[in-house]
Amino acid sequence: MSADASINRIFGLEALLRAQAGKGPAPVEQWDPPYCGDIGLAVRRDGVWLYQGSPIGRVALVKLFAGVLRKDADGRHYLVTPAERVDVAVEDAPFLAVEMDVRGVGPAQRLVFRTNVDVIVEAGPEHPLRFAVEPGSGGLKPYLLVRGRLEALVTRALYYDLVELATMEEGRGLGLWSGGAFFPMQERSPCSAPQLTSGEAGNLL
């Protein structure tokens, strides 16, 4: 694809999405447009969006694209408009949780996050936190469900804040309360493996 064609393609996508803007959140889960392949969109693990290998510097365009991102049951990410669906190669999670506000304590605690695209999400039953074990290092990586199947990776700085907030609950192990739900920092197994302390959890990243 020529440079001019590439620029026209990205501008065409932007025009389609701006025409939809102002009508409320895009109903991407309901849209079923034809699949139009890979045009070179990607999201790095640090949250930077790329188009054919170059960072997209326009914050407004990144937010526009992020608003119509979808992860399907096949595990692949797509940018979805009413007219077409194209691949987005996501290196880790499509969003980063970059800021957190803590309200209340114990079971009444609420953890409210801001993502790198300025979406506000409160952890709870509809937006659970999960802690994945990173292959190789064995470190814990916290993820927050933003919408649909899309998650935000909680930044390293916020991870340490989460460790400080973690409590040990009888029969549940070490974890966090938010929105009336408890999110364990490690899965319990039938083998009754030793439970992490907050200090040990802090050493896992």
* 132, 185: one domain: yes
More confident residue, 165 or 11: 165
* 113, 69: one domain: no
pLDDT at 97 over 60: yes
For the stretch 136-178, pLDDT in tens is 888 899 999 999 999 999 999 999 999 999 999 988 899 999 9
pLDDT at 66 over 70: yes
* 57, 109: one domain: no
Residue spans of alpha helices (H) in 21-155: 59-66
Domains identified in the chain, total number: 2
pTM metric for this prediction: 0.81
User: Would you state the structure tokens that stand for residue 200, as one six-digit string?
Assistant: 């040990």
Residue type, 78: Y
Cβ-based neighbours of 80, under 8 Å, separated by 6 or more: 26, 28, 31, 33, 68, 69, 70
- Model pLDDT, residue 15: 59
For the stretch 99-112, pLDDT in tens is 999 999 999 999 99
* 60, 103: one domain: no
Q: Residue 134 carries which DSSP code?
A: P
Closest alpha carbon to 42 in 106, 92, 96 = 92
